[in-house]
Structure 1
Amino acid sequence: MPDDPRTAMLTTDRLVLRPQREADAEVFRQLWTERDERVPSHRRLSADGRPTVAEIAEGIRQDRAPEQPGLLTVVLRDTDEVIGYCGVVFDGDGERPELAFELLQAAHNRGYATEAGRIVIGWARDHGYPLLWATVWEWNLASRRVLTKLEFVDTGVVTKESPHGRSLLMMRDVPA
C-alpha cells in the first residue's frame, strides 16, 4: 500500500473516521458494557471489570500491525463525539481483510454504521483490496442488515458454532 494506513482520515457529511487515540478508550470500554449477553465471554467485561479503560488505552498505544489499516474511531462531525469504530482488520493468518464495526447503542438506527462502512469500503478499493469479508453472529440482525446494505452476501460458510450461536461469513467484491 502506498501510504501508512494508520494515518487514514476519512470523512463523510456526518462522520469523521480517524486513527484511534488513547482518549477513545472510555467510549470503547462503554462498548464492552453494551454488548449483547450472547457475545462470547472473551468479548464482554469479565467479572472483575476487565478490560479497564487503562488496558484499552494501552492496547491503542501498542502498534501491533502498522502495515494494516486497523480500526478507525468513528466521530460525529458536528459535535466531535466518539460513537464507535469501523475499519479493516485481518483474520488470524493475516490473509483475509475483514470489515469490522461497532457503535454505541445511542448511535444505532441512524445509518452511521452503513455510512462508516461505505467510506471504509471506498478506502479499501483505493488501496487495492479486491474483496472484503465480514463475520457476524447469525442472531445479530442489525449488523446483518448493515452488511446487506453494504452489498455483502452470505457465503453459506459458518466460521464457528458455539453456545453463543453461529458466526456467518459474508463477503463483497471491491471493484477497482
Structure 2
Amino acid sequence: MPPYETMPFHLETERLILRPWAESDAAEFTALLAERGKGTPAVEDIRTSIANLLAATASTGIALLPVQRRDEGDFIGYCGLIIGRSTIEEPEIAYELCRRVHGRGYATEAAAAVLDAAIATGRRRLWSTVGTWNAPSLRVLEKLGFERDRVTTEDAGEVAWLTRSLP
C-alpha cells in the first residue's frame, strides 16, 4: 500500500458527525437508497454492504462514512472517500444525502470535512464523478474547488469528472 496516512474515521463539523458504519445504520441506509427510485434493497443486502464498506476501510485506509446531524442524532446520508472509478492514490469523494435535508448546506459541510481528512492523508489529488443532470451536487464540488476535467457518456447518461489538487 502507498505510504499514505490513514484517513480519520470520525469527523465532526459544526452541525454534523461523520463516523464508522454500524449495523444499526442498515434501515436508514436502505431508505436512502430507495429514494433513488430503483426499488428498495433488502435490509439484509444492506447489512452485507455495510460489512463490505468496513472491510474496504480496513484494507484501504479510506472510508465512506455515515453522516448524522449533531443535534438531532439522525442518519442523513453518507460522505467519504472511495476508490470507485479512481485509484487509492487519487480516491474519489462521494456523498449522498436524504432528500428531506437537501438544500441546507449539509453536503458541502460534510464534503469539506472529508476534503480536510484527505489532505491529512498526504494525497495530492481527489476525483469526483457526478451525473451532469445533478446541478446541486456539481455546485457542492465547485464550492470546494473541484474543476471539471471531462464528460463521459455511460448507460445512465452523461457523467462529469471533476478533480481537485490538494496542498
Q: Please classify the TM superposition score into its range, dividing by the shorter chain length.
A: 0.7 to 0.9
8 Å CA contact 1:15, 1:76 repeated in 2: yes
Q: Secondary structure at the match of 1:83?
A: strand
> 1:149 aligned to 2:149?
no
The normalised TM-score by structure 1 is 0.84
Q: Any unmatched runs of 5+ in structure 2?
A: none
For residues 76-95 of structure 1, what are the structure 2 equivalents within 5 Å? 76-92=69-85, 94-95=87-88
Name the SS of the counterpart of 2:164 in structure 1.
Answer: strand
1:138 aligns with 2:145: no
Which amino acid in 2 is paired with 1:19? P
More displaced stretch, 57-66 vs 131-140: 57-66
Give 2:160's aligned amino acid.
L
SS at match of 2:87: coil
The DSSP-based 3-state class of the residue aligned with 1:129 is: coil
Distance 2:86 2:163 in 1: 17
Partner of 2:73, secondary structure, is coil
Gaps of 5+ in 1: 38-43
Taking structure 2 as the reference length, what is the TM-score of the superposition? Answer: 0.88
Number of positions where the alignment pairs a residue of Structure 1 with one of Structure 2: 160
User: How far did residue 168 of structure 1 move?
Assistant: 0.9
Partner of 1:40: none
Which position in structure 1 is the counterpart of 2:9? 8
Partners of 2:24 and 2:74 in 1: how far apart? Answer: 12
Distance 1:161 1:92, change over 3 A: closer
- 2-structure distance, mates of 1:21, 1:14: 20
Q: By how many angstroms is 1:142 displaced?
A: 1.1
Does structure 2 retain, via aligned residues, the 8 Å contact 1:22–1:58?
Answer: no
Residue deviations 1:48-98, cap 9 Å, x none? x4x211110122123135223120010101121010000000135634300
CA distance in 1, matches of 2:57, 2:11: 20
Considering only aligned residues, what root-mean-square deviation do their CA atoms show, in Å? 1.7
Of 83, 102, 107 in structure 2, the residue corresponding to residue 108 of structure 1 is 102
* Residues 56 and 63 in structure 2, CA contact (< 8 A), matched pair in contact too: no
Q: Is the 8 A contact 1:68 1:89 kept in 2?
A: no
Alignment of 1:21-170 (within 5 A): 21-35=22-36, 44-45=38-39, 49=40, 51-62=41-52, 63-66=55-58, 67-92=60-85, 94-95=87-88, 96-155=90-149, 157-162=150-155, 164-170=156-162
Q: Secondary structure at the match of 1:99?
A: strand
8 Å Cα contact 2:30/2:46 also seen in 1:
yes
